[in-house]
Structure 1
Amino acid sequence: MWSWLYQRAGISFPDLARQHDQSLVAVEADVEYVRAFGVFDSDEYSVSVVKVRARQGNTVLEMYHEFAGEGGVFARVRMLWRLLELDGDQALTGIPGRFRDSVLQRLTPGEIDPSRERRYVDGFRGRIEQQGEKVAEGRHGFTLYRHQCEVADQWCFLEVPAFASQGREGLIEALEHDPFALRASLCKPLHKVLVKLSCPFYLFEQGEVLSTAYWLQGQLAFVHQIINVTRMNTLAAVVIETFQA
């Protein structure tokens, strides 16, 4: 993402904050694994940006990525980044805002779309919970430490799916009986991962992952609710994982 902004628009992460008083935080991600791709399948792989849109009145940056190795594309990723206006302090404190003209002028007219972007997590979660069969549930507590934070001592987006994975594996490990063969899912490849962030999570705050396993039309799905216990049990993120049959 930042390589694209720097090469295409001449804006680095420090420059966006330092020269434009703005920043970006991830609010949603949709990952689809198109095919199996293992560590021995290729000596290298490439990551490309295939489409970019400034959406919703220039408040959200939508980016589409493709991951390709020998044999072609093996994963597609869509990221939604919310624009923040910074107040200039070292903690990069910010409030939701819009891209400045100094940033927008670096984009082409085709990369600016005023319509609202699509959100997938809530709809997919509703479908799983309404149509799926709940088969197991577990809880996993954690503390947010600095190695899991980004520069503002807030949780790093890259760590959020890892919390969900810990919750899933903890759920499976704690099972006394496994009639639905959940343990076998540890050997199956992921099909999709959907992530939605809705609340800050800062250094040393306490959290809990509520993980629920479902069978949905012959497919195993996990819905993970990540709760910020310190902030009055606020729902901070939802992660959905589905596995290939």
Structure 2
Amino acid sequence: MMVQRRSEFELFYDSSYFTTRQLHPVAAVRLSFLGYARWAAEHAAPFPTMIAEHHAGFAVVGIRLDYGRPFTFLDGTRLQMSSTSRLLSQLTLMETVTTIVSDTTHLATVSLLCRALDVAPGDGMLAAPSRLASSVVGSYRPEEIDQDDKPVDHVEAILSRLDATVPQLVEGTSQRLIDRQLCEAADQWCFTEVIGLVASARETLIDDRADEFPVLRTGLSQRLCQVVVKLRRPLFLHDRAAIRTRMYTDHERRLFVHHISGASGAVHAIAIETLEPPQ
């Protein structure tokens, strides 16, 4: 039986890869996409070549980060990543999954769901949703293609359960300019930075209202166990984002739900952070 091909790499990390509690969520997602870039270079085409010569690219539309065992900066010295890639939904979606370990300790698994794009020639990298270019599809093995698979919408599944059964505790709104530090090569927000944006919004809510709602402080003291993100449309350089953040308590777990909107009020992304229960 054939198995999906993997790309594997290792790095010796520094303190910037970690918060005081765990592997930094932004670092985990960055490592995941780096894992896909390596997979593509080894088995299909390097990402810049894919865009420049095959006029094909991907836009990340979904992120799922699941943390494993507790692990902090001083618990090891290096990280090992292993990534796969497969095509889904009539060749319109690509899923890449990266596991992150340190020797025998599993730190995290990151799944990125990406929409295939047709990229126009030229430096502007204008793109539109499309089936993936046949010249790139040909690099995938049959066991790496499932045209009928339609991924689960993890964000909507959690929201439906919360809205039906769990009362909201507190909410707040913060503002953020999408500056170039948050952007990627096409001058639109970089999906990895959305993870940091919502973490900042959570801590802003805590800073603003923890005296009134002390339970908010668990948003600083507890480890994240999961982050899921649904990206609907990009924000561009110097757009202004409003992030509406709500906190829920579901049994022993605390959840922070974020809706990121642009100037028109349209929602551009929804993210849900789930914290580990207090010990």
Q: Which residue of 1 aligns with 2:40?
A: 5
1:52: Cα distance to partner? Answer: 2.3
In the alignment, which of 90, 104, 111 is matched to residue 78 of structure 1? 111
In the alignment, which of 46, 61, 67 is matched to residue 33 of structure 1? 67
- The 4+ residue runs of structure 1 with deviation greater than 3 A are 176-180
Rounded Cα–Cα distance in structure 2 between residues aligned with 1:28 and 1:106: 23
1:199: Cα distance to partner? Answer: 1.2
Instruction: State percent identity of aligned pairs.
Output: 27
1:92–1:152 contact (8 Å) kept in structure 2: yes
Task: Map residues 49-198 of structure 1 onto 2, 5 A cutoff.
Answer: 49=83, 51-115=84-148, 116-175=150-209, 177-198=211-232
Aligned length: 241
1:129: Cα distance to partner? Answer: 2.5
2:94–2:114 contact (8 Å) kept in structure 1: yes
Rounded Cα–Cα distance in structure 2 between residues aligned with 1:77 and 1:176: 31
1:37: Cα distance to partner? Answer: 1.3
1:179: Cα distance to partner? Answer: 4.2
Rounded Cα–Cα distance in structure 1 between residues aligned with 2:192 and 2:62: 12
Q: Which residue of 1 aligns with 2:252?
A: 218
Rounded Cα–Cα distance in structure 2 between residues aligned with 1:239 and 1:170: 16
SS of the residue aligned with 2:220? helix
1:70: Cα distance to partner? Answer: 3.4
1:91–1:151 contact (8 Å) kept in structure 2: no
Which structure shows the higher helix fraction? Answer: 2
Pick closer, same or farther for the CA change 1:89–1:233 going to 2, 3 Å.
farther
Q: Which residue of 2 aligns with 1:235?
A: 267
Normalised to the residue count of structure 2, the TM-score between the two structures is: 0.83
SS of the residue aligned with 1:26? strand
Amino acid in structure 2 at the alignment position of 1:44: R
Q: Which residue of 1 aligns with 2:30?
A: none
1:34–1:74 contact (8 Å) kept in structure 2: yes
Normalised to the residue count of structure 1, the TM-score between the two structures is: 0.95
Gaps of 5+ in 2: 1-35
